[in-house]
Structure 1
Amino acid sequence: MSALAMGGGGGGGSMPSETAPQYDPAVEYRAGLTALQAQRWADAEKSFRHVLAVSPRDANTNYLMALSKIGRSDYKGARSYLEKAVKLEPAMIPAHEQLGIALAKLGEADKAKEQLDWFTARATTCGTACADATVLQQGAAAVQAAIGAGKQARVAVPGLLMFASTQAGDGAYLAAVALINEHRYNDAILSLRAAEQVFGPHPDILTYLGFANRKLKRYDIAEAYYRRALAVAPGHRGATEYYGEMMLERGDVAGATRMLAQLDAQCTFGCAEADELRRWIVRRSNAS
């Protein structure tokens, strides 16, 4: 008999896909935050690696992974995650600050200066009265000091709002839902991002981020959020329904029909999400 048929060296006889670890990104994200706060850098890195395996385009997790690397004095490793974080979320001020400091620490003063220039440009656009004025000023000062110190720059993992309680995260999420019901989608997105900092790539948060962006006609951004939600939770009925509705809005009837088929396969005895998407498809067909 083949090694596979006999179970190989593992003795279980199961397929690798059946025995591979299954990680809940939201749980791993919170575990990573707890480890980071306790300065258990290796544990934090392990948890954030599990999150990124499912949701590699999550800017918050890339940033937190970088902080885990910084805690272990791995500035080169931190740099790549920080660069990805600011690419995914260009307005992420703490990531720009830590990137500038890490680059200075690595002896790349010219590139660190690019981050300082980013702070200068952002501060000019922001003005002295905007909400981020103080944070931008502090970030610029930190990067400037690091450039001056060069490889001798002192680096410390910052204590940030990322350690907000789950209650604060729940509050931000509930506020976002209320704002969506009031059609205040831009405000809802801000609240959802605050919740995302606490809970990471949670499928409910990603789904609502997709929904709010869709209502603002930002279809490409909405699609990216729906896809991320379904990558984290393939059976998420809300994301499947809303993604199908958006497909109809963009004229993709076949795509919406595929989403409905997925819902029907999940909802043996029917469910509200399948019924609602079916109504959308019928209305679309009647209007054609």
Structure 2
Amino acid sequence: MYKFLAIAAAAMLSTSALAAGTTTTGSGEPGSDAKFQAAVSAIKAKQFESAIPLLQEVQTRFPNSADVNNYLGYTHRKVGKPNIALGFYQAALKINPNHRGAHEYLGELYVEQKDLPKAKEQLAALEKICGKCEESEDLKRHIDKGM
């Protein structure tokens, strides 16, 4: 019974992180790490500047986390540092080539940079991974707005 409750609690925590990107549950991921959850809360509150140092600290303990790299990309993009964001998205995808959040946000970055062919590549990758999922639909809307 305790194991079931622990799994249910972890699932609820990871679900709350979805507001700013897809999280994964693979090895090397922070999951319910308190600093990671604090960073996700800051991101949800659009406090991107304050989320960055939290994520950097988490990254020292979880260097192979696609989720942390994805969120570092997202926060840097939101504070106007697209080149730094690009590196984090690429790192997330190197760790987990099927990370839906990283594909979505990388595509959004390309839309912001007016590089629609690269954005469409990310959309195609998402559609291959998950079909018509939330991330692919969100990216499609960004691409349509960017045209």
TM-score bucket (shorter structure): 0.7 to 0.9
Q: Tell me which residue corresponds to 1:196.
A: 59
Within the alignment, does 1:26 sit opposite 2:28 as a pair? yes
Q: Tell me which residue corresponds to 1:236.
A: 99
Q: Tell me which residue corresponds to 2:113.
A: 250
Residue 26 of structure 1 aligns with an amino acid whose one-letter code is G
* 2: CA distance, partners of 1:206 / 1:243: 12
**Cα drift, residue 186 of structure 1:** 1.7
TM-score (norm 1): 0.40
Contact 2:104 2:139 in 1 (8 A): yes
Q: Which runs of 5+ in 1 are unaligned?
A: 1-23, 28-165
Contact 2:114 2:146 in 1 (8 A): no
Residues 1-288 of structure 1 aligned to structure 2 (within 5 Å): 26=28, 170-268=33-131, 270-285=132-147
RMSD across aligned positions (CA): 1.9
Contact 1:25 1:232 in 2 (8 A): no
Moved over 3 A (4+): none
> Alpha-carbon deviations, 1:195-249, whole Å to 9, x = none?
1122222000000000000001101100000000000000000000000001000
**Cα drift, residue 187 of structure 1:** 1.1
Residue 184 of structure 1 aligns with an amino acid whose one-letter code is Q
* 1: CA distance, partners of 2:120 / 2:55: 29
Q: How many residues align?
A: 122
* 2: CA distance, partners of 1:186 / 1:282: 29
Percentage of identical aligned residues: 34
TM-score (norm 2): 0.77
**Cα drift, residue 25 of structure 1:** 7.2
